[in-house]
Amino acid sequence: MFLAVGFETTAPATALLARQALALGLENLSLLVAHVRVVPAMAAILADPANQVQGFLAAGHVGAVMGLAELEALVAAQRVPVVVSGFEPLELMAGLVAGVRQLEAGRAVVGNAYGQVVRPAGNPAAQRQLAEEFAVVDQPWRGLGVLPGGGLALRGPYRRLDARERFGIPTMQGNRTAAADPCISGRSLRGLASPPDCPAFGVTCTPEHPLGARMVSSEGACAAYYRYRPPVDGASIRPSPRGTQGILASPS
């Protein structure tokens, strides 16, 4: 069983694997698909009345595959600045500067601070691969509920490789009670809290024992806050004085 995880960045490789498996008639391979789409999550964050996010740094690896069209549609509808950025320190700073300049000027456009990798049309071959093997479906997101069009699922003949159908694996739930799940990723994504504000942060949620994707991924906000956390006072992490606002790296 292959656990297929990630945004549109890693989904084309899964699509290619599914295509080759079907062509070879493999019977001993199943795909547990957990691919999600970035723009629906950004739209859900902005649609929340309590949202405090004023702009986004869009992930450059997603832009390299999907291009800028979806982001341009989001900006046209929501009027917030979005800047596609790379991941190195100077690339991130260039994206932040471009986003802040838009905010100061009252502008809202899609900026591309990662032009050496991201083209406006993205990667058409990868997009065709995604369209052939995957269907866009509603998807539960941690802290945001079920997002329309928030994920990908195997389609047509490729569904025979779907581990959920083959083994009767239940669909994960989008929302859990605070008692069962102390993770506040939904509030953090909306700019209402910072990772150290979470009661589980650095206590029951660490990179070695993560409760959510934002701590699992080395690119996640919780993992970054944990790695560069302030000095420990006793056994607890000193919380931040207020929620994160302004530019938010989309969404991880």
What are the structure tokens assigned to 224, written together? 């970054």
Strand order, beta sheet including 246-249 = 110-112, 82-85, 53-59, 246-249
User: What's the pLDDT tens digit per position in 173-198?
Assistant: 655 544 567 889 889 889 999 999 99
Residue 233's pLDDT band, with cuts at 50, 70 and 90, is: low
Residue 229's pLDDT band, with cuts at 50, 70 and 90, is: confident
Report, as an integer, the average pLDDT of 229-234: 64
User: What's the pLDDT tens digit per position in 109-132?
Assistant: 999 999 999 999 999 999 999 999
Contacts of 217 (CB under 8 A, 6+ apart): 223, 252
What are the chain's domains?
2-167 (3.40.50.11750), 185-242 (no CATH)
52 pLDDT higher than 70: yes
Percentage of the chain exceeding pLDDT 90: 76
What's the rounded Cα separation, in Å, for the pair 217 and 213? 6
Q: Please indicate whether residue 35 or residue 143 has the higher confidence score (pLDDT).
A: 35
What's the rounded Cα separation, in Å, for the pair 57 and 86? 9
